[in-house]
């Protein structure tokens, strides 16, 4: 037998060479198992906004109210501005609630928007302050006056007793139907209320009259 015809041992398979290897399993289990689908991430839970309860404040003390108003000359104009404010409030209410203080932030936005309309369209001198009436209360003097050179000068009237009565009966940040007074039509917004504290009026003491010259000569 020539060298070229010498028998060769059959080559061993990798499995035969490695006796510790396991036989490859054949069958259904040999198919690759599908990877489990990733679990969807849970949606973040939105926190409920804190809605303050209506407090019925029982107090014997008179109340005063911080309010704003827009004064116009026609009912049609008043209704247009009121509807714009109501639509703005609805838009804010429809936004997602993800802020526990959303109610208070929305109130600040409404007051700011109210002030912008007042500055642009109100016919009252308070327009330069965004319609701010400051603090009003029942029984207050609605005809302001200023003293100049010892004479009392009447200023333009900004509010009436009817307007103050309407403000004192309002719920905060609820915009009612326009109110008619002798000054025009008013859209009003009540922002705050508190116990009224009477302010003491300090009257200036009259200066002592100077003695005539030469009368204070010591003896």
The full DSSP string for 61-79 is SPEEEEEEEEEES-HHHHH
**63-193 has which fold?**
Chitinase A; domain 3 (3.10.50)
139 dihedral zone (left: phi>0; alpha: psi -120 to 50; beta): left
pLDDT in tens, 47-95: 554 455 444 455 556 899 999 999 999 999 999 999 999 999 999 999 8
Query: In which residue are the tokens 């109501």 written?
Result: 86
Between 208 and 128, the more confident residue is 128
Tokens representing 82 are 């009121």
* Distance, CA of 207 to CA of 134 (rounded, Å): 34
On whether the CB atoms of residues 125 and 156 are closer than 8 A, the answer is yes
Question: Residue 187 above 70 pLDDT?
Answer: yes
Q: Which whole number is the average pLDDT over 164-193? A: 94
3-state secondary structure (DSSP) of residue 178: coil
Q: Which residues contact 97 (CB under 8 A, 6 or more apart)?
A: 46, 47, 48, 49
* Percentage of the chain modeled with pLDDT above 90: 42
- Find the helix or strand (DSSP H, E) in which 82 lies: helix 75-93
15-29, 34-48, 100-114, 123-137: the lowest-pLDDT one:
15-29
Q: Helix 102-121 crosses helix 75-93 at what angle (to 10 degrees)?
A: 160
Q: Report the predicted TM-score, pTM, of the whole model to 2 decimal places.
A: 0.61
Residue range 200-216: mean pLDDT, rounded: 58
Q: Which residues in 184-205 are b (16+ Cβ under 10 Å) and which e?
A: bbbbbbbbebeebeeeeeeeee
């Amino acid at each position: 037998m020539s060298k070229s015809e010498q028998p060769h041992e059959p080559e061993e398979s990798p499995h035969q060479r490695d006796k510790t290897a396991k036989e490859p399993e054949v069958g259904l289990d040999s198919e690759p198992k599908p990877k489990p689908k990733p679990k969807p991430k849970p949606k973040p839970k939105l926190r409920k906004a804190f809605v303050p309860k209506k407090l019925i404040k029982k107090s014997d003390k008179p109340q005063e109210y911080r309010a704003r108003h827009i004064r116009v000359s026609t009912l049609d104009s008043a209704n247009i501005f009121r509807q714009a404010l109501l639509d703005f409030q609805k838009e804010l209410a429809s936004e997602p609630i993800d802020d526990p203080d959303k109610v208070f932030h929305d109130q600040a936005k409404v007051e700011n928007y109210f002030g912008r309309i007042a500055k642009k369209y109100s016919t009252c001198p308070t327009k330069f302050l965004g319609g701010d009436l400051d603090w009003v209360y029942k029984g207050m003097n609605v005809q302001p006056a200023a003293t100049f050179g010892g004479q009392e000068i009447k200023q333009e009237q900004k509010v009436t007793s009817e307007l103050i009565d309407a403000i004192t009966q309002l719920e905060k940040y609820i915009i009612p139907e326009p109110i008619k007074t002798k000054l025009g039509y008013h859209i009003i917004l009540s922002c705050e209320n508190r116990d009224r504290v009477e302010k003491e009026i300090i009257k200036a003491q009259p200066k002592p009259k100077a003695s005539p010259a030469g009368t204070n000569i010591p003896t």
